[in-house]
Structures are given as C-alpha cells and as structure tokens.
Chain A
Amino acid sequence: MSAIHRICGAALFATLATGATAACAQATVVRYGQASSAARSIFSLPIVVAEREGLFQKEGLDFRVVIPIPGGSDKMIAALHDDTVDVTHVATTFLVRAALAGSDAVAIAAEFNNPIYSLVARPEIGKIADLKGKLVGMADPAGSIAISMRKLLALHGVREGDIRVKTIEGTPTRLNCLRRGECAAVPLGQPQDLVAQSEGYRVLGFSTEAVPEFLYTVTAARRSWAAANKDTVTRYVRALAASFRIIRDPQRRDAVVKAIVDTTGVSPAIAERTLALYFEPERKVLPRQGEIDLAGMAQVLAFMGEAGQLKAPLPAPERFVDLQYLRLAGVR
C-alpha cells in the first residue's frame, strides 16, 4: 500500500513553512510497524522526534504507527509480508533470521546502533576483577547483552568460569536482584542504570567498551515494496535523517529531553543524563543521520555465530541492507 490522500491543517502549515506552493498537500501514507515493547521506550526516540518536529509532513508523508498485538520477534517482519505495514522497526537479529528464512526484507536505515548496557555492582565492589567468585545476573546467554558483557568481563581479565551466572531476563528484574543483595552485579539499560547509580550502586563499565560497533535496530522494508515506492522510501529516510540531526543538536536539547520524558515517563534529569551518556563523549549509540554501519551489521552476524544461531561461513552484511535509499536521501 502506498495510498495518497489529502491532508491539510498542520501539514499545510509545515508545507508552507518550507516554501512549497501546494495549497493542500497530497500526502502519501506510510504505515510504520512498531513493537508494543518499543512504543514507550527510548528506542522510539528517532520516530517520536520526527513526528513532533513535523519532519514526515515536510516530506509529504502521512506517517502512521501500527502496532501488532500481540507483539513478538516474528511479528514485525511478518507485518511487512501480510501488508499490515509498509516499513517496520526491527532488531537486526530478527531481520537476519527472517531474511535467511526467505524474506526479502532489508534494512533501509539505522535507528539505534549500539545500546549501552552498564555493568552495575553493589557499592563495595570497586572494579570488574572484584567480581571473581561472585554471582552476576545476566540476560539470555545467547543474546547481545550477555555476549557483550562476557566480552567486557574478559577485557578486564574475568573469564566465564571465574564468576557464577544467573540468567535473569529484563533490566527491571535484574535491578531487583541487585537491590535484594542476591546479585553482586548486573547489566542494566537506561534509565535503570542511572537510577541505580543515584541509589549508590557502582557502574563498573559499559558494554560499548567491549563492543564499539553494533547495529541494534533498523527500519526495514521489503525490497519489492521499496523498489516500487522508491520516492516514498527516500522521503521517509530523509525525514529520519533530519530527526537524528535534531537529536544531536545541542541547541535542541530541551525539545529532545521533553520528547524522552513524554514518551518514557522518566524525569527530565534522567532524560538529560541519558543523552549525556550517549553523546558526552560520543559513544556511537545513535547514527548521525540513519546511516547503516556495515561493520556494525558484521558484528551482529558475529554475535549470532557466537551464540550458535548462524553457522560459518557467516553471510556478508551487505545481504541484509539496501543502501540506495540513504544515498538518494543524501546521507553518506
């Protein structure tokens, strides 16, 4: 589907503001798939900012968010194939699995490159090496969080056999393990790592130290649909690129903080600290303009190989991306 319909009002204002001459724009509907679990998380930030800033409207798009219920890993690519959505937000591991199973879905732009997971420990633990012999709460051993944490531990001389591991899914649950004293350390995402820090727990390191490049979530589309709607896809990518520029613009920090607060429900202080964690110094959490880092995709494939989800020889990262829309949108 790539329906055209008329929109006026706010879209008209945005169109006129950019100097376009149309009195009432012809907008192209784009249905964007989003997992319900991501809808109120930091991972929706690029889309939230693009919507709030009217960037899709400026590109002549009538952007609509579609959330499959129930959600789940297989639902996002499936939603592309059953014409529920035109493009979708998806974690790259699931895109790779779907593509290897025969889907023609490919990444057309990056949304989140390298999420930071902090290794947070009880206050009396001063450094990673002090974790030897202690219980560490970990995520799914085959997942990217656990793999990056094992690499971080190894970087500091702690091998897998040196610690006791308990698998605990979900950042809030792992934080509870830390709070009740059962776990000596756990990996936490934002904002719980910042909350834990404010409670006196100690951050021993970040996943990004051990895994500097990654490609966590992308916008994906079917090759066939994208090829038939090249202009629409290019305009979508251009709007997304503009959103990243705003997110990175220090002059627009207040607007971005407000977007995080309104979307996730965290306090403004936590939202500020989250952005500081991402950008001060630059930790490559977000792309600069939605560009796809093939080295990051290669790292995803390597992780999947390490977890036994892919067999050697690993496929080339180029197989899972289509860079032409980024190029057409002027993103290098």
Chain B
Amino acid sequence: MALAAAASGARAGGDSFEPDDHSPDEGPAYFGFVKDVAGKPIRDAKVSASYKTSLTLVTRTNATGAYKVRGFKKEISPNDVTITCAKEGYKQVRVFRRPLVKGKPVRSVETECRLQRVQ
C-alpha cells in the first residue's frame, strides 16, 4: 500500500484534494480513452489502474472519454500495472496499450479501453 505516492501534509480520510503537481517519487501517468466498439467515446466510465492485486487507483472518464491516473511510485514498473474499464450496461472487450519506447524514461503510459453494450 505504501506504493502510492501522495502529497505530504494532506489530511486524513479524504478531506483534502491532493495538489495537481508531481511528487518527486511519483511514477508515470496512465492515460487514454474509453470508447465503444464503434470508436465513440464513453463518458463516466470507471477506469481502474491496478498494481498486481494489492493497490488500485480508480478514476472516471470525462465527457470526451478521456482519463488520467497518477499516483503510483516510480519504482512500480508499468508492466505490472493493469488498466481495466467498466460501465453499467457494457462489458470490456479490448484493452490496447501503446508500446513503450525502449531506452527512454517513461513519463506516461497510454492505454485505450473498449466497451461493448450488453444487449
């Protein structure tokens, strides 16, 4: 659990919103879009970024279907982080991660998630 990098000095129990800046020990951002099978963006889909099974950061897509998650520490390899998406009335059909460039520091990881409406 100590693998999440959060701002220091914040209060407990959710009574403050962390400032929008990187802490020095923070790893790459995970971002991308959630779309339906026709490629239309899906808003308010739940996106989970899970480090193995021990820690999950959860966010939701905006009106353009975009999401962004930050908060894992830099020692966590992007290869150990799994992106999944969900929305009521849909099932996940595909997750595609843009390949990382070898030899370059990873600042962000783009993953697209596709959902299909359940009949």
Q: Which residues of A contact B (CB under 8 A)?
A: 31, 34-41, 43-44, 47-48, 51, 62, 64-76, 79, 82, 84, 89-94, 112, 115, 169-173, 189, 192, 216-217, 262-265
Contact = CB atoms under 8 A, between A and B. Distances in A.
Contact of A38 (B10, B53, B54): B10
Interface residues of B, number: 29
B36 to A, nearest CB: 21
Interface stretch (B15-23, B75-83, B94-102, B104-112): B15-23
A72 B16 CA distance: 5
A271 to B, nearest CB: 13
B76 to A, nearest CB: 13
Where chain A touches its partner, the secondary structure class is mixed
A171 to B, nearest CB: 5
Nearest to A78: B14
24 contacts: A35-B13, A35-B16, A36-B10, A37-B7, A38-B14, A39-B2, A39-B6, A47-B1, A65-B1, A65-B56, A66-B58, A67-B57, A67-B71, A69-B58, A69-B69, A74-B14, A84-B58, A89-B12, A92-B13, A170-B10, A172-B9, A217-B12, A217-B13, A264-B8
A73 B2 contact: no
B13 A66 contact: no
A273 B19 CA distance: 28
Contacts, number: 142
Contacts of A69: 57-59, 69-71
B14 A216 contact: no
Given A65-B1, A67-B57, A79-B58, A94 B15 contact: yes
Given A71-B18, A72-B17, A115 B71 contact: no
Nearest to A172: B9
A39 B12 CA distance: 9
A170 B16 CA distance: 9
B60 to A, nearest CB: 9
B48 to A, nearest CB: 8
Given A91-B11, A263-B2, A36 B18 contact: yes
A36 B71 contact: yes
Contacts of B2: 39-40, 44, 48, 262-263
B8 A265 contact: yes
